[in-house]
Copies of this chain bind each other. A is one copy, B any other.
Amino acid sequence: MKLKIVALAGGVGGAKLVHGLAQILPPEDLTVVVNTGDDFEHYSLYICPDLDTVCYTLAGLANPETGWGRVDETWQAIENAVRLGGPEWFNLGDRDLGTHLERTRRLKAGQTLSQITRDFCKSWGIRQTILPMSDHPVRTIVETGEGDLAFQEYFVHRRCEPKVTGFRFEGVETAEAAPGVLEAIDAAEAVIICPSNPWVSIDPILVVGDIRRAIEAKTIVAVSPIIGGQTVKGPAAKMYAELDIQPSARAVAEHYRGMLSGFVLDNMDAELASNINIPTLTTDTLMDSLTKRARLARDVLNFIRRINK
């Protein structure tokens, strides 16, 4: 299918739809802009969980069980660090460490995250364009009843337990879109907001000023990460509830209100469609097999074609 697409993606859910899109679109027609608000330093290494999940997934290197991390992974380094008293709350596989080591080395040598990502994608045989949203650090802070927590602290270390009261994105005032992002949006026939967490995977991208301005003129279609009031993975539904919003596909559509040209929700939520006053596509959005990733991607692309007609 010929359709120039920019996809905005976070981690596992986003990576699945991106993987589906990659099976349908020619590689030159797909640009993925990935959340970097989750990036953090651990053991002095610079780690980009969402970028790595998207890249590993497209390269066929992802662990199919977890959706993140590497397949055929070993854990010697972290086990030995933990034995010496190091923190064990974040998984660092040996193969995965190779990525963090080389990325950190290059960053310290003055390369930008977008340059590094381009080179890594080339090494991994990824032909689509994968871009970090920005080369400037943006840090997602989760405001909770127990104080402010850096995202990975909240998400991995505290297992999303603290009650969320809000979010903020440090550094976003001065962050600019990474090279290539605005050009890709400009050339795109549509922007797809992947079924990633609206609060902590997509909002960090949307708050980067020049990205927000660039996509406003575009056809934007979002795919709900919430199915039947729940998420497949991750705390999005819990976050809506803690912020006193009923978690639902409708809440997601509402989240992106004013931006969207279309909204995709699951068959299970079909009855919500009539309350969403933009074009909707109701389909099977659960991507629990490789085939279903491609099928959802094709459905979304056809939906976009109808909208763009």
Contact = CB atoms under 8 A, between A and B. Distances in A.
Nearest to A116: B84
5 contacts: A43-B104, A74-B74, A74-B94, A77-B77, A84-B98
A98 B74 contact: no
Nearest to A44: B104
A97 interface: yes
Instruction: Identify the 3 closest CB pairs spanning chains A and B, nearest first.
Output: A80-B98, A76-B94, A77-B97
A43 B74 CA distance: 20
Interface in A11-49: 43-45
B119 A95 contact: no
A6 to B, nearest CB: 25
Contacts of A83: 98, 123
Given A74-B76, A77-B98, A78-B98, A84 B123 contact: yes
A206 to B, nearest CB: 30
Interface string A84-126: 1111000011111111011111001000000000011001000
Given A78-B101, A80-B96, 4 more contacts: A44-B44, A77-B98, A81-B102, A97-B97
